[in-house]
Amino acid sequence: METGAQHYKRFVQVYNPSQSTLQLEIRMASLNHSTYLRRSSADSPLLRPTYTKTPGGFSYRPPTSPSSSALRSFSEMSSQIPAPTVSTVTISYTELKDPSADVSEKIELGFGPNGLGILSISDVPGYPLLRQNLLHLAPRLARLPEEVKQELEDPNSRYNIGWSHGKEKLESGKPDLLKGSFYANPILDLPTTELSLVQRYPSYCGPNIWPRRALPELEPAFKALGKLILDVGLLLASL
């Protein structure tokens, strides 16, 4: 399920019910050197032209493509070099609430230029139960009759409000039928009444759509967990 507050939405992984921390994360990709060479990057040292100084000036030798043996040896060398490891930084909820606790160094480690962009808040009171209450409703939502789920769809928001299944496309162009999503703003059922904003940002400013008759438990469970996530985020942002 995915939740949102005001102008952002958050993702809750329904397939990992054992998780007991909140995370704000930015995923970062690493560079694979063997792929780097196979793609014939002009920045590869094996593919750069060379210049040799002679009595008359400089001679130019065009770049040569690396041999397969060179690629193998470079790939083997890269695989033997251990990748740098950076641990996720965790702040306990107790530290977060303690006005005398200095967590500035941890915030810098997590969100600074050398961090992963991930900061976990552990031991949040009430979080495991609220998360369990919501995620246990996910299969019931998915098993609702198709006509009911169609009533929860919002094409105007590009299916970013309410129910969405098979609306996202994979790189192949085929629809992604292996997951279903439900989007809502857990804080405001109607984020704004300003028509210009609704028209400009339909994915964020449109009204929530709840299955109030078919699955009335979803709305309070969704809002309870969403409010807790927002409150913890605001607590962190206030430091």
Q: What is the pLDDT of residues 46-100, one digit of tens each?
A: 444 444 444 444 444 555 555 555 555 555 665 667 766 767 899 999 999 999 9
The answer to which of 41-50, 99-108, 211-220 has the lowest mean pLDDT is 41-50
* Greater pLDDT, 231 or 10: 231
The answer to which of 11-20, 98-107, 108-117 has the lowest mean pLDDT is 11-20
| Residue 169: predicted pLDDT | 86
* Greater pLDDT, 190 or 7: 190
CA triple 204-207-209, angle to 5 deg: 110
Give the ranges where 48-183 is alpha helix by DSSP (H): 68-80, 93-97, 104-111, 127-135, 138-142, 146-151
User: Does this model's pTM top 0.75?
Assistant: no
How high is the mean pLDDT of the chain?
76
